[in-house]
Homo-oligomer: A and B are copies of this chain.
Amino acid sequence: MTSPTIVTAAMLAIGDELLSGRTKDKNIGHLADMLTMVGIDLREVRIVADDQDAIVEALNALRSRYRHVFTSGGIGPTHDDITADAISKAFGVECIHEPKAMELLAAMYERRGMEFTEARKRMARMPEGATHIPNPVSTAPGFAIENVYVMAGVPQVFQAMLDALLPSLETGTPVLSRTVRSPYGEGDIGAPLTEVQKNHPETSIGSYPRFDGKSFSTDIVIRARDATVLGAAETEVIAMIEAIGRSREKHQP
């Protein structure tokens, strides 16, 4: 077994609407799924308001700590879209109307016979030195600066930008996982599962209660970066559940 490569990441979701409840975030879960698939460990997520100080502080905390930082939201054409300015401030660089983005947007609005308004020109703004993240849905690009990737909040656009971005990023050894369904609640499996976890220190075993309105069952999720390690732990979890079942049968009258 070769030593696994760990690549970490964080997400910063930006928007008053996420904190007021008006919009239910869909990007965090999608990013989590995609990063897990490619072998990037999402370690922390923060949601902050459309507030420059809050964005700058959270971004600087996250970008110094994690290999990759993904942001969502606040890059549209209206006055409450302040992400480009806040990211520029966090990096201490100018926020400019980036020439290539201006060209892309001007051409797109000309094709569609629409005016390239001052508001629309806001969507070409990004920190000086940033590179584009393509937006195949609605043209206005996201942008990357150092280890920070700034994407739209609209889920269709966020997802398209992420698809365009991911192949270019450094990734690590993917975490493999197996889920074993247990008909028993966490209270029944807690003690033996602790033993299984101790016997398999290179795995991370989580247990997730399900509640059907009457009783609890459990999904046991085993995670490891090595298939052999994973398989050994899975075998022991299955044996544990069978043992609980046999012990219950014995106690039937």
Q: Mark A5-37, 1 if CB is under 8 A from B, else 0.
A: 000000000001111111111001111111110
Q: Mark A46-58, 1 if CB is under 8 A from B, else 0.
A: 1111100010001
A156 and B25 in contact, given A32-B20, A78-B194 (Cβ under 8 angstroms): no
Tell me whether B48 and A21 are in contact (CB under 8 A).
Answer: no
Contact A78 B138 (CB under 8 A): no
**For the complex, is A187 an interface residue (Cβ under 8 Å from B)?**
yes
Q: In the assembly, what is the distance between CA of A50 and CA of B216, in Å?
A: 21
- Chain B proximity of A192: nearest CB distance (Å): 9
- Given A19-B32, A138-B211, also A197-B79 (CB < 8 A): yes
User: Which of A87-95, A116-124, A162-170 is near enough to bind chain B?
Assistant: A116-124
Known: A117-B190, A156-B211; 5 extra A-B contacts, CB below 8 A, are A19-B41, A19-B45, A44-B54, A77-B190, A123-B187
A183 at the interface (CB under 8 A from B): no
The yes or no answer to A180 lying at the interface (CB within 8 A) is no
Residue of B whose beta carbon sits closest to that of A220 = B78
A187 proximity list for chain B (CB < 8 A): 77, 114, 117, 119-120, 123
Closest to A76 in B: B186
| Chain A interface residue number, banded | 35 or more
- Establish whether residues A209 and B80, one from each chain, have CB atoms under 8 Å apart when the complex forms: no
Q: List 25 A-B contacts (CB under 8 A).
A: A16-B223, A17-B221, A19-B32, A19-B42, A20-B36, A20-B42, A21-B31, A23-B208, A25-B28, A43-B49, A46-B46, A77-B186, A77-B190, A78-B186, A78-B193, A78-B207, A79-B190, A79-B193, A79-B205, A117-B187, A117-B190, A119-B186, A119-B187, A138-B211, A154-B211
A189 to B76, CA, bound (A): 12
Judge whether A1 is part of the interface by a CB distance below 8 angstroms.
no
In chain A, positions 157-192 with a C-beta closer than 8 Å to chain B are 157, 175, 177, 186-191
